[in-house]
Amino acid sequence: MEVHHHSHHPKKWKEYITEFLMLFLAVSLGFMAENIREHQIEKQREIAYLQNVHEDLRLDLNNIDNVLNQNKSRLLLLDTFFNAIKNKTITNEEAYYYIRNLVLRATFESSHVGLDQIKSAGGLRMIKNKEIVTGIQEYERTLDATAKMEVVREGTLEQARFQMAVVFDPIIQYQMMKSQNYQGVGWTRFQRPQKADLILEKNPAPWACYFQAPGIDIASASPELFLKREGKRIRTSPIKGTAPVGTTDFGVKDRAENVMIVDLMRNDLGQICKSGSVTVPRLLSTEAHPGLVHLVSDIEGELKEGTTWSEIFTLLSPPGSISGAPKSSAVSVIEENEGKRGPYCGALGWVQGDQSELSVAIRIFFKDDKLRFGTGAGITWASVADDEWEETQLKARRLVSLAGGVL
């Protein structure tokens, strides 16, 4: 029997070196590929961060231009105001107009999305250009200094607003504006009816006003704020719930109706405000007004960047408190059963730049071809017809009586 032995030849040292080099090369290439991939990712992040900062700067430049334009307008207004005082040609009404507009704030608020991202992610280390890093750091310091200056300016303006509120309280303001010939600044001279004066004096509602335009006169005793805007901050204060003076506890129907409209307005504001910024700082608060008390809530938020007045009015109009929920269905029912409301239940007030005060046009006398008075009550499933009619009369009785009418 033959036995065959298979001989094993030991590897030569060159083969070992070759295998080692191949293994080393493979590992090295793997590390290099990973490093290249990480470098590409960091480069992409760097580009994304810089693009966001660039967008911040673009928005900030637009905001600065808006503030500069508003300040230029205020300087012209201030010059006109001083000249009128110097020449002793200014009326009380014009003084009120000038001061009210001069204490409004032209607000600069930085868009700092890109800066916040860089700071939270440690993104500055990814930016290789040291000049850009230095520029970003200097800009951040400038924004911090600007924010501190804005706080000081707002404090000064707040003091001015307080003094204005003292000087121009409803009674003093009424006495100052008692002259029958009212010269509105930049407006056509008109005669304010004596009945409008009487309503302002005897029923000093918080949003009372008189407005005249070709073909229409409006005397409003509105108690309700529709929209107040100060820069990016926006607030609405719907009224749902009315009772005689002395009432301290509203019923379930009124409270439920108020909360329903609060939810409606939260949803409306949520479409134009930054996510998470919409709050309800005041819910179901009792407010005393001439001849009655109301149940009032406040909803406020911070507007998204670039939100236009057109978008605001499109989403918020008509006011939720005088339409209902869901709003589109409520408006359809109102149109089918009431027809055109005219100025009644619209918005009445002023808008200038990024500032506004607009009331809901309720409790108003308006004259087109006839003299009309608008008021009403909200109808829900829990409504009792006699109660709603009594509420409508309660709202109307005092004002109609002041105007010389009888219910």
| Residues with catalytic function | 224, 240
Buried b (16+ CB within 10 A) or exposed e, 307-346: beeeebeeebbbbbbbbbbebeebeeebeeeeeeeebbbb
| Burial of residue 268 (number of CB atoms within 10 Å: 0-12, 13-18, 19+) | buried
Q: Count of CB atoms within 10 A of residue 20's CB?
A: 10
Cα dihedral value 41, 42, 46, 48, nearest 10? 30
β-pairing, 190-191 vs 181-182, is: antiparallel
Q: How far apart are CA 394 and CA 390, in angstroms?
A: 6
- Give the whole-angstrom CA distance, residue 22 versus residue 28: 10
Q: How many Cα atoms sit within 13 Å of 380 on the Cβ side?
A: 19
Which residues, other chains included, contact 261 with Cβ-Cβ below 8 Å and sequence gap of 6+?
A: 238, 240, 297, 320, 321, 325
What is the crossing angle of helices 113-121 and 130-167, to 10°? 130
